[in-house]
Copies of this chain bind each other. A is one copy, B any other.
Amino acid sequence: MERIQMADGLSFSRIVHGLWRLNEWNYSSQQTLDLIHHALDKGITTFDHADIYGSYTCEELFGDALSLEPSIREKIELVTKCGIVLESANRPEHKSHHYNTSKAHIISSVENSLKNLQTEYIDVLLIHRPDPFMDPEQTVEAFTQLKAQGKVRYFGVSNFKQHQFDLLQSYMDEKLITNQIELSPLQLENFEDGTLNLCMKERIAPMAWSPLSGGSIFSSQEERAARLRNVLQKISGEIGAESIDQVMYAWLLAHPAKIMPIVGSGKTARIDAAVDSLSLKMNHDQWFEILQTSMGHDVP
């Protein structure tokens, strides 16, 4: 599979596997390990986590699988996130939902992630959401310490707009290596407000969360979704796709920003569909037909 160079010593598989619903799949550790093997066989080596996924349970489920075959660790890239505080039975000390990007919270969150993932290092740590209360000096102090200790190799952000990215970057010596943002034919905000352009300008490849818009496109009766579904279906035939999810992946993959879609499915067939979409070609007419159908009007 195509790989994207993220930093001097790090590359990602173009398709990333996302574990945010791992707890809902009711897999045994062996079944999760089998899924990881399936992904690896297909060329997917990059796995996306967050401390909070599954109300703080998904990292541990993944770590339990990893512990069955520790040698896999060196063959994969682990991304995880921190900075959101959720109320959870698994975190009784949390009294409210808020953000925390203080040095103490980031370091404590990473320590938990390392333990839960049963690994000695995170490849990339992302700040999960822009924090209006962020003290960038503290955040970067945490980064510096975690890097020096070998606990985190690289740092990035998620859902950051330009001013939030520029602020944090201005306090760092190293470059933020990615911005994980929502991108799909149904979610154009980051195409329109300059966030995707920011990534290209900074020469960083974005990770795309919810590349299928959470699946609403498949069933929604809403006019916009229905209209787009029809066009995706038509183009599916034109480009030889097997399903409209492949067309949505192909739409993102065709963009020059080197978008890396995160596939959040536990089903091997859906993972395979995503991987196979890498071979699909989309021309300008088709790319803009999807864009304009989603916008509901022509470009000017």
Chain A interface residues toward B at CB < 8 A: 85, 95-100, 102, 129, 132-138, 159, 161-164, 166-167, 170, 191-194, 197-198, 200-201, 254-256, 284-285, 287-289, 291-292, 298-300
Report whether A133 and B288 are in contact in the complex, using a CB–CB cutoff of 8 Å. Answer: yes
Query: Do the beta carbons of A284 and B201 come within 8 Å of each other?
Result: no
Q: How far apart are A135's CB and chain B's nearest CB, in angstroms?
A: 4
Is there contact, CB below 8 Å, between B289 and A96? Answer: yes
- A100, A133, A161, A289 interface centre (most CB from chain B within 10 Å): A133
Given known A-B contacts A133-B255, A137-B256, A191-B132, A99 and B288 have beta carbons under 8 A apart: yes
Chain multiplicity (copies): 3
Nearest 8 A/B pairs, CB to CB: A163-B194, A98-B288, A135-B256, A163-B197, A167-B197, A96-B285, A167-B201, A170-B201
- Nearest Cβ on chain B to A206's Cβ, whole angstroms: 13
Contact of B200 with A284 in the complex, beta carbons under 8 Å: no
Q: How far is the CA of A138 from the CA of B284 in the complex (A)?
A: 14
Question: What residues on B are CB-neighbors of A170 within 8 Å?
Answer: 201
CA A285 – CA B161 in complex, angstroms? 24
Contact (Cβ within 8 A) B256 A129: no
Distance A74 CA – B36 CA, assembled complex (angstroms):
67
Given contacts A194-B163, A300-B129, contact A98 B284 (CB under 8 A): yes
